[in-house]
Structure formats: C-alpha cells, structure tokens
Amino acid sequence: MYNFETLSPKDFELLTRDLLQKELSITLETFKSGKDDGIDLRYSKDTLNQLIVQCKHYKNSTLNDLYNALKIETEKIKKLNPKRYIISTSQPLSPKNKDKIMQICFPFIKSTSDIYGNNDLNNLITKFPEIEKDHFKLWLTSTKVLEQILHSNIVNESRFKLDEIKEKIKKFVSNPSVNEAQNILNSENFVVISGAPGVGKTTLAEMIIYSYVANSEYEFFNISENIQDAYSVYNLDPNVKQIFYYDDFLGETHLTKNEDSSLITFINRINKSKNRKLILTTREYILQQSKLLHEKIEKFDFKKCIIDLKNYTKKIKADILYSHLYFSELPQEYIDNLLTEHRYFSIIEHPNYNPRIIESMTKLKIHENISAQDYHCEFIKNLDNPSEIWKHAFENQIDNKTRSVLFSIVSLGGGYWGTDYKQLIKEISKNICAKLYSENFTDLDFRKCLKILEGDFIKIYPRGITFCNPSVSDFLENYIVENSMVSEFIEIADTLDQFIWIEAFLLNKENINKKYAYVLFEKVKQYNSNNWEYRLIGLLFDIIIKTEDAMLLDKLQFELSYLVKDHKLSEMENFLNKLTSSIFDENEIIKDFITNFMDSVIKDINSCNSVYDLDILINFLEDYDEDLIEQYDSSIKVNIIVNLDNLIENSIENCDCDPYTLECDKKKLENLIEKLDITGCNLEELENTIEELRAEQELDEANENENSKDHLNYLKQMQDDNESIKDLFLTLKK
C-alpha cells in the first residue's frame, strides 16, 4: 500500500498516466511542467478535449486543500468543456469524499468511478505490476520490499542503512551512469562504481541494489568492515539470490593484511555464479594507490563505472536541484529566494556543481545560520569554495608526495600544456616536496603520483594536464591561504606561469598582507633579469598599482631603459595601458620614460610597419595625454603616408584569409587617418581584398550549411531545455 509521499507532482502525474493508459486502453498526452490551464493529461482522438485528467498531489496537503484546488480547476474546465473529466489524487477518499468532489466538479465528472483516490490507484498498481516496476520510487519504499530485506538476516547496521537509503530514494534522479553500471553488473555480476568525492557513487549503488532486491527477490547484505563479512553470509545453495554491497571497499588508502587476496577470490566466485551480485564503490585515486601497494589488485581487471559530472546534462543537474528542494523542509521563503529572477540557473550552470553541495545546502538546518535573503549568495559561495568536498581526501587519503604534485599543478594556474609538461611538473613537485615536507621526490614517485591522481583529481593528455574539476583548483588556492603557505609558494616560484598565477590569485585576494606583494616584486625582478619577459614587466607594474607604492619605480630603471631601446609595441600594449593608472599621474620617472620612449619610437618610426602597432601607439598617446598626439603627429603622419602600401600589404598577409580581421585593420587605419587628419590615402586594395575574402567565406558557409543547421538545432534544444527547467521550478512556488 503506497501513500506516494516519495513522488514529486510530476512523478505522480506520470504514474497516473501509465495506470490510466493501461486501464482505459488509450494513449494520453502529457505536457511540460508549469501552468497547465486545467490539463495535466489529455485524450483527443476524435474531438478536442475528449478526455481530460487532472492530477492533484501536494506535500502535506489535506482534503480541504484538495477541495479548494478543485474549485479553482472547475472554472478552467468550464472553458475546456470536456466530454469526460477524471480526477487523480494521492489523498485517501471515502464515498462521502467522492460525492463532494462530484458536487464541486458538476457537471463534468459523470461518475465517482472517474475519481481515483489513494486506494483506487493502489488497486491499479496491484492490477498492473509491470507499471509498478517502471516507477522505481514506488517499489523502493514499499512495505513488501522493506520486509523482504529485513527478513534476510541482516544486522541492525543494515536496518539503519535502509533508513538512510529510504530518504535518498525520493531525491534520486536517474543519470547516464545508471544504465552503464547496470549493464556491467548484468554481464559480470560485479561492478566497481568510482568517481570524485560527492558525485553520487554511494547513491547510485544503493538505487541499483534496491532494484535487485525489489524485482528479483535478492537477499541484501551490507559489508561494512572487510570482505570476510561477505564470506560469513554467503549461501552455498546456488538457487539462493544474494546481492552484496561493499561501500568504500578500499578504505581510506589501503586494504588490511591479506584482504587483497580474499577480495579477488570472492569477486571471482561472484563472477562465475548465476544468482550473486556484488557492488563496490571507491574513489579512483584510492584504487590507483591500492594498485601500487597490492600486486593482486594491480593485475586484476576491475569492471568500473566511473561517474563523471561532465556527462550530466543541464536538465539532469536541474532535476537534482529541484528534487532536493521539493523534498526539503526548508521554509518557503528560502526556496522563493532561488526562484527570484531564476537564480537557480546560476547553481545549475556553476562549474563546481556537485550533488553533495546540493544536498548540504538544502538541508533544514541550513536556515539556522543563513537568512532567506542571503540563501542564494551563500549557495554560490559554497560552490565557489567547495572545501568540504576535497579537504578530507587531500588531508587523509593521499601522501605528501601526491599533495606536492597537486600543488605544482595549481601553481601553474590549474594546468599546463606543452610537450615538456611532465618534466616541468616533476621538477616543481620535487621543489615543493622538499620545501613543504622535507622529503625526497624521485622519478618513480612522480609516476606513482600521476597514477593515483588520474581520474578523480587530474586529467592527463598527450600534451598537457589539467584538474578534472575547477573546484580542485579553488580548494587548493584557498587551502594555501588558510594555512599561511603563501610565502613558501612565492619562494618556490621559478617560471613565468607561476609568477602570473601568484599575482592573479594571491594579489587579487582581499586582505592579503602587502608584504607578500613586496616579496613577489623582488622575486620577479630577480627572475626577469635573467629571463626577460614583457609580461613580467606588466606584473611588476601591477604590484606597484595594487600596493599603491610608486616608490618601487626607483627599482625599475633597468627595465624601463630596456623598454626604451626595444619598444616592441605589440608586446607592450598591456604594459602601456597600465601607465594610465592614476598612481602614475605627475610621476617624474614615468614622465621621463614616456619622453625617452616616444623619442626612441619616433626615431625608429619606419619600423612600425603594422596597423596594429600604430593603433597601440596612438591609443596610448590619447589615453595618457592628448597633447602628446600633437607633439608627435607629424612624424606618425609621414610614416603612414610613406608606408601606406606596406601597411596594407602587411595587414593582408597577416589576416589569415579572415575578412573580419582585415575589416578590423581597415577600421583602425581609417581611425588613424581621421585622428591625424591625413588626406589622399587610397584604401581600394584593402577594400577589394575584403570583398574577395567575404565571397570565399560565403561559399564556405554555404558548403557547411548542414553543420550550421545542426548548430541551430542545438541552440533550439538549449532554449527548449531552459524553458522546460523554468516550468519545472515554477511548480515550487507556494
């Protein structure tokens, strides 16, 4: 007997549809969630609105709520004027209740047999058991299933486990991993479900276990300590069906003595049996660690189903958030806060989206420390800094050498691309391990660490390496700050990418002590003296701007002198833009630099043979001091007039057959001509080339028309998904 409390309104509507289709031998139309105008399901074979079905299922509702809702619906039904009208409700109904509903819905309900209450729906479920199996949220919590499990000699711990699972069932949303894991289990009789922390490994395993217990009369055994528990309850009768569940089967980092051998033996026995199933869960990096520690584990072919959140569509992520909100006990004003301006999209689309954070942020206790008006902001903050997801694994489940590899990757900005990436990360890891942990780090250590981390923490490509999820990088950066490790990372930094990461990450953090900026300034200046980089000059000026300490300019005389001599405008654009900062207003060092720099550029003006360089120069003069344009315009004018053909030819050669790029160069050149009041310039060759390239591009676009259609279809699907999500969340309004 079901009370349907685990079903959302949409789940209940779909169950009603399947039951009535079977009972009435018809096919009912269903519609997207949201405003229904009085129609949940419809049959219109011969005439419009031949049959309309209205489904009423609300959490914690009463009969009076049902009556009031039907009074509102009746007004809508008058406009639709159906030949037949059916009500389906999860409320238990007495004969008097049905009579009253008929009275409210007069004259559209012809008979009380068209009013399906709780008992009627349960009767149909008994009549059509195949439909019961299709709606997993029903049978996963049925009395029959619970009794079946509890009568299987399961210890009290398993009873507690059942209570936990029962709470999860109603919030569970199917995803691509369900079929993948199920297929492996069907063919091999065992499956290892792995993935990063918080992605839903345990939940997936528990849902599959219940499907076997409910549909196939399997006995359930929860293995909590070690594999010997499974041996002790294994039934030698080949006809008995048993399913074993071993969550986190590798423990924190390793197996107990000889358990590797016992585990492999048990798995092989399961694999060869007819009526036995085994589901194991672990984190991928722990499995890789165990392979390094246990030879038998290393050689064994584990049949893995790896849960990857990148395979979750926006719709699946939306369904997970919706399900948790619908079944939460949060006050309505908290849910309304997410519904305002469709704020829930920022959660669904967040790069650090994680089911564990969704679960944590939708628990009732969350409102004790967060106000309703701050709920969305706090939700996003937890996604921005998901420390609880990675902290336990980082501090307790990997060693110092493995941590050093993670630190080395984050110090390069969260990833690195290049043929030498492994050598570079190995050297940085060696330095970090020595500095932070006083441990040696060998080539063998590096290879082992990569094996452990690949899958959950990092992704390795032929020419690069990145974190699997941006939240790993977020966690590590916050961990460095929270554990006062900033100075160590500045000291360790020895590459351009590391310096850029430190400046972008550390100096953009609020309340970072200025002493770090000064230490970084000295380190970058020292590094730049041996490894000249224009980007590092810009970084030094960023530090001056952020510390508001123009006195540091005294230490940059060599760098400024170099820029005067080299003056590669295309390399200097970012740096020149920084000179317009107010901190440099009326600064004598900068004034002298500008004078010397412009004298050097004008002296060598004919080397400015690209429109891009001239555009940078004029824009800088205009932004820094418009009077400078008048001071140097005659020299620049002559350059443009004399070298116009070369400028046009250079633009054509470097546009890569892209009419848009060439069009941009043309506009820049026209702006320069206008600003400097130059006359008589002929841009006909440039215009003709643009037209030719446009014609070629149109031909290419015509040839790729099918791809364009596919893209438009994709955009249309995205738009449809967004509207569907909006309709779904609209049902959360009170």
Q: pLDDT digit string (tens) for 452-469?
A: 888 778 888 888 898 877
Mean pLDDT to the nearest integer, 348-376: 85
β-strand partners of 222: 245
Residue 152 pLDDT > 50: no
Instruction: Choose the final residue of a domain: 131, 158, 184.
Output: 131
Q: Are 201 and 309 in contact (CB under 8 A)?
A: no
* Distance, CA of 34 to CA of 11 (rounded, Å): 14
Domain containing residue 63: CATH number: 3.40.1350
* Distance, CA of 235 to CA of 671 (rounded, Å): 86
Q: Are residues 98 and 191 in the same domain?
A: no
Has residue 662 been placed in a domain?
Answer: yes
* Distance, CA of 566 to CA of 568 (rounded, Å): 6
Instruction: Please report the pLDDT score of residue 98 as a whole number.
Output: 94
Amino acid type, 461 = Y
Instruction: Choose the final residue of a domain: 131, 154, 177.
Output: 131
Instruction: Please report the pLDDT score of residue 19 as a whole number.
Output: 95
Measuring CA to CA, how many Å separate 542 from each of 113, 504, 553?
77, 10, 12
Nearest to 548 by CA among 581, 571, 506: 581
Mean of pLDDT over the chain = 83
- Dihedral sign from CA coordinates of 9, 11, 12, 14: positive
Q: Are residues 685 and 648 in the same domain?
A: yes
* Distance, CA of 480 to CA of 643 (rounded, Å): 53
* Distance, CA of 251 to CA of 254 (rounded, Å): 6
* Distance, CA of 549 to CA of 194 (rounded, Å): 51
Instruction: Please report the pLDDT score of residue 154 as a whole number.
Output: 45
Q: Are residues 98 and 167 in the same domain?
A: no
Has residue 238 been placed in a domain?
Answer: yes
Number of domains making up the chain: 4
Q: Are residues 147 and 291 in the same domain?
A: yes
- Show the tokens assigned to 637: 């004018």
Has residue 516 been placed in a domain?
Answer: no
* Distance, CA of 253 to CA of 255 (rounded, Å): 7
Could you give the residue ranges of the DSSP H alpha helices within 455-587? 470-482, 486-492, 496-505, 514-530, 534-547, 557-566, 569-578
Mean pLDDT to the nearest integer, 619-647: 82
Q: Are residues 262 and 172 in the same domain?
A: yes
Instruction: Please report the pLDDT score of residue 130 as a whole number.
Output: 81
Has residue 69 been placed in a domain?
Answer: yes
Q: Are 1 and 15 in contact (CB under 8 A)?
A: no
Judging by DSSP bridges, how do beta strands 41-43 and 29-30 pair with one another?
antiparallel
Instruction: Please report the pLDDT score of residue 592 as a whole number.
Output: 92
Domain containing residue 234: CATH number: 3.40.50.300
Q: Are residues 170 and 291 in the same domain?
A: yes
Has residue 530 been placed in a domain?
Answer: no
Strands laid side by side in the 458-461 sheet: 415-417, 464-467, 458-461
Range of the domain at 367: 328-390
Has residue 559 been placed in a domain?
Answer: no
Residue 150 pLDDT > 50: no
Q: Are residues 283 and 199 in the same domain?
A: yes
- Show the tokens assigned to 631: 């001071």
Nearest to 392 by CA among 356, 428, 425, 432: 356
Contacts of 77 (CB under 8 A, 6+ apart): 38, 52, 54, 85, 105, 108
**Confidence bin at 637 (pLDDT 50/70/90):** confident
Instruction: Choose the final residue of a domain: 279, 311, 343.
Output: 311
- Show the tokens assigned to 367: 């409102």
Could you give the residue ranges of the DSSP H alpha helices within 81-200? 95-104, 118-127, 129-134, 136-139, 143-150, 156-169, 176-188
Look-up of token digits 């200025």: 514
Choose the weakest-confidence range: 327-336, 386-395, 609-618. Answer: 386-395
- 89-105 per-position pLDDT tens digit: 999 999 999 999 999 99
SS3 label, residue 304: strand
Q: Are residues 152 and 94 in the same domain?
A: no
Q: Are residues 285 and 174 in the same domain?
A: yes
- Show the tokens assigned to 105: 């819905």
- 207-242 per-position pLDDT tens digit: 888 777 766 678 888 887 778 878 877 888 888 888
- 270-282 per-position pLDDT tens digit: 988 888 999 988 8
β-strand partners of 416: 465
Residue 16 pLDDT > 90: yes
Q: Are residues 110 and 161 in the same domain?
A: no
Has residue 603 been placed in a domain?
Answer: no
Q: Are 7 and 698 in contact (CB under 8 A)?
A: no
Has residue 407 been placed in a domain?
Answer: no
Q: Are residues 617 and 657 in the same domain?
A: yes
* Distance, CA of 522 to CA of 526 (rounded, Å): 6
Q: Are residues 236 and 382 in the same domain?
A: no
Measuring CA to CA, how many Å separate 476 from each of 98, 379, 382, 394, 714?
61, 20, 15, 9, 36
More confident residue, 173 or 124: 124
